[in-house]
A and B are shown apart, each in its own frame.
Chain A
Amino acid sequence: MMKIQGKPSLSVMLKASAAAVCALGLLGGMPAAHAADPLQPDPELEAVTLPAPKPSWVFVERGFVVPGNAIYDTDTGKMLGLVEASTLSDLALDPGGKAFYVSESIWTKGWRGTRQDMITVYDANTLKLKTEIAIPGRILIGGRKFNFVIADAGKTAYVYNLDPASSVNMVDLAKGKFVKKIELPGCASLMPVTGVGFSALCSDGSLATVKTAGAKPEITRSAPFFSATNDPIFDNFGYDGVKQQAVFLTYTGQVYTAKLGATPTISEPFSIQAAAGVAPADTKPLDVHWYPGARQGLAYHLGTGHAFVLMHTGEYWTHKESGTEVWELDVAAKKVVRRIPLETPASAIAVTQEASPKLVLSTEGGEGDRSALLILDAKTGEQKFKLERSGGGVLRTLEP
């Protein structure tokens, strides 16, 4: 007769374990409970709150598929929280540091139903919803810094809309109310102009300036100064709200500075390549040059007036290609003062507005692989942190 080898029963195992525990206790001479007080149960849980926003923070839009804006502290490399947002939304920071604004579009039944466009207001301390301001529409697009801008020291917001006619929705943030829709044919990418309204880049190569105060908005245009189809200005440009100045960069690397106002003035351009002592680029096929590019290819440090530009080598019409080098351009001196080679090409760049700034770069992600966030010392190019699976779309830092 064959004996069936059975598994030991549960009760036998328990008894054996209990005996072992007792034996261990005896061997140790003292019961474990006497060595230290047992851990106390966790108190009633409350969510963490944030301190006032710091210039070392960066807000990372998590991309086309994953919603929300992750906040990282570039001093520590730690994620601090997430400003909730739907996909294809835009984030703007209250200059007073009290709120985060999200311009977004959602539908009543997920991806269908009634469309609802709004500015969602989150408390900067708790990241909890404060209020919603309904707006009559906004553009759906990813990767743009200047479709939702805050003006008048935080009192006014401008939201760009394309339906597919081009317009701007003006919102009174202090009163939490939509004010009016301003038709803006042929222009987009908004920069607030203090005491006036806003300026925008236009398809005829001009800069439009819109006076928004009156009952009827007044739109004036500069003389055309660039070609919107042959050598366009990247619509993620540099903007200084305090000095009321914008730094524009074209696909071939021409750099313009614009002094904003009721009647803006635009400088003669210079070549970023010439500023680095290399051959200026052109639009001809087969000519290989250094070109500016990437999705968010320019970061502007207001304190020094230096622009940090993602550059790559290739032919013309490669303007979305990620940068293999960062060129630090002293805009006023028209000189590239540093070139920082990158181990992994970067698709977006931002700079903290600190006295000792840090560069934040989002690297290219491979197939099914989310990209990394790199934090570099802007003065030395030294890498301080590499945060895996933390990269994304638009990167934003606090500006004065």
Chain B
Amino acid sequence: MKTFNPDAMGEKLLRRFAGGTSRRGILARLGLALVAAPVFPVLPVSRASAAKPDRSPEAKTTFARNAQSKDDTKCDYWRYCAIDGSLCSCCGGAVNRCPPGAEHSPVSWVGTCINPDDGRAYLIAYRDCCGKSYCNKCDCDGTDRETQLYVPQLNNDVIWCFGTTSMEYHCSTAVLVGTA
């Protein structure tokens, strides 16, 4: 006679689960989720205030009024509205990629910048490239909505090389996360 045996049921479930998965598989899925995370606008910074966005020239900062979208090796490139440091695009990397041998910091400070082509505000993650000495080329310092150390995620002076092998700062990228 079959009796209710939660222990056996649990074992069966776990065995089935274990047979159909691997540690690597879980790691891969977790990794995918981690990599994909920045694609979703998971950091709704300034969302509330962006409810009724006014993108007229009168509402834009000096930086936004003068920003361009053609040359990402110049400080006035639109994504750099709150960047600070050397541009990775001048150091052998790209606007969103580290130069050879440098390591992307998994965390970053953020900015909300307006694209001059479509007038939309985008959330930009300024991810430092780490593990090499200071590039010291194309030094830029965008200060739109940049605040002080007690709001570190909006402060661009902090060395954001957390979670990397080395905390030596090399240069900064400007990764587009999504619309703000």
Asked if residues A286 and B162 are in contact (CB atoms below 8 Å), the reply is no
Which residues of chain A have a CB within 8 Å of any CB of chain B? 64-65, 88, 105, 107, 111-112, 115, 139-144, 147, 162-164, 166, 186-189, 200-203, 228-229, 232-235, 285-286, 314-320
Asked if residues A235 and B148 are in contact (CB atoms below 8 Å), the reply is yes
Asked if residues A320 and B136 are in contact (CB atoms below 8 Å), the reply is no
List 17 additional A-B contacts (Cβ < 8 Å) besides A65-B136, A285-B59. Answer: A112-B165, A115-B167, A140-B158, A144-B157, A164-B107, A186-B150, A203-B151, A229-B154, A232-B147, A233-B148, A234-B148, A285-B62, A286-B58, A317-B62, A317-B63, A317-B144, A320-B146
21 A-B contacts, Cβ less than 8 Å apart? A64-B134, A65-B134, A88-B159, A107-B166, A111-B132, A111-B166, A111-B168, A139-B149, A139-B158, A140-B167, A140-B169, A141-B157, A164-B107, A164-B152, A189-B148, A203-B151, A228-B147, A228-B151, A233-B148, A285-B65, A316-B61
Query: A-B pairs with CB below 8 Å: how many?
Result: 97
Complex interface: chain A residues within 8 A of B136 (CB): 65
A111-B131, A141-B157 as given contacts; A314 in contact with B151, CB under 8 Å: no
A112-B131, A318-B143, A320-B143 as given contacts; A162 in contact with B158, CB under 8 Å: yes
- What's the interface size class on B, roughly? 35 or more
**Residue B69 CB within 8 A of the other chain:** no
Complex interface: chain B residues within 8 A of A228 (CB): 147-148, 150-151
Q: Which residue of A lies closest to B59 (CB)?
A: A285
Q: Which residue of A112, A187, A188, A317 contacts B143 across the interface (Cβ within 8 Å)?
A: A317
Chain B 99-141 near chain A by CB (<8 Å), digits 1 or 0: 0000000010000000000000000000000011110100001
**Residue B12 CB within 8 A of the other chain:** no
With both chains docked as a complex, state the minimum distance between the C-beta of A159 and any C-beta of chain B, in angstroms: 14
Q: Which residue of B lies closest to A319 (CB)?
A: B143
Q: Which residue of A lies closest to B45 (CB)?
A: A229
Asked if residues A141 and B150 are in contact (CB atoms below 8 Å), the reply is no
Docked Cα-Cα span, A201 to B151, in Å, equals 10
Q: Which residue of A lies closest to B162 (CB)?
A: A164
Asked if residues B61 and A315 are in contact (CB atoms below 8 Å), the reply is yes
Q: For the complex, would chain A's binding face be called helix, strand, loop or mixed by DSSP majority? A: loop
Complex interface: chain A residues within 8 A of B61 (CB): 285, 315-317
Complex interface: chain A residues within 8 A of B131 (CB): 111-112
With both chains docked as a complex, state the minimum distance between the C-beta of B14 and any C-beta of chain A, in angstroms: 35
Complex interface: chain A residues within 8 A of B65 (CB): 285
**Residue B15 CB within 8 A of the other chain:** no
Complex interface: chain B residues within 8 A of A229 (CB): 145, 147, 151, 154
Q: Which residue of A107, A142, A286, A314 contacts B157 across the interface (Cβ within 8 Å)?
A: A142
Complex interface: chain B residues within 8 A of A200 (CB): 150
Complex interface: chain B residues within 8 A of A320 (CB): 141, 143, 146
Asked if residues A143 and B58 are in contact (CB atoms below 8 Å), the reply is no
**Residue B29 CB within 8 A of the other chain:** no
Complex interface: chain A residues within 8 A of B58 (CB): 285-286
- Which of A142, A187, A229, A318 neighbours the largest number of chain B CB atoms within 10 Å of its CB? A229
Chain B 29-69 near chain A by CB (<8 Å), digits 1 or 0: 00000000000000000000000000000111111010000
A141-B159, A164-B162 as given contacts; A201 in contact with B148, CB under 8 Å: yes
Complex interface: chain A residues within 8 A of B60 (CB): 285
Q: Which residue of B133, B149, B168 contacts A188 across the interface (Cβ within 8 Å)?
A: B149
Q: Which residue of B lies closest to A208 (CB)?
A: B150
Docked Cα-Cα span, A105 to B133, in Å, equals 15
Asked if residues B148 and A162 are in contact (CB atoms below 8 Å), the reply is no
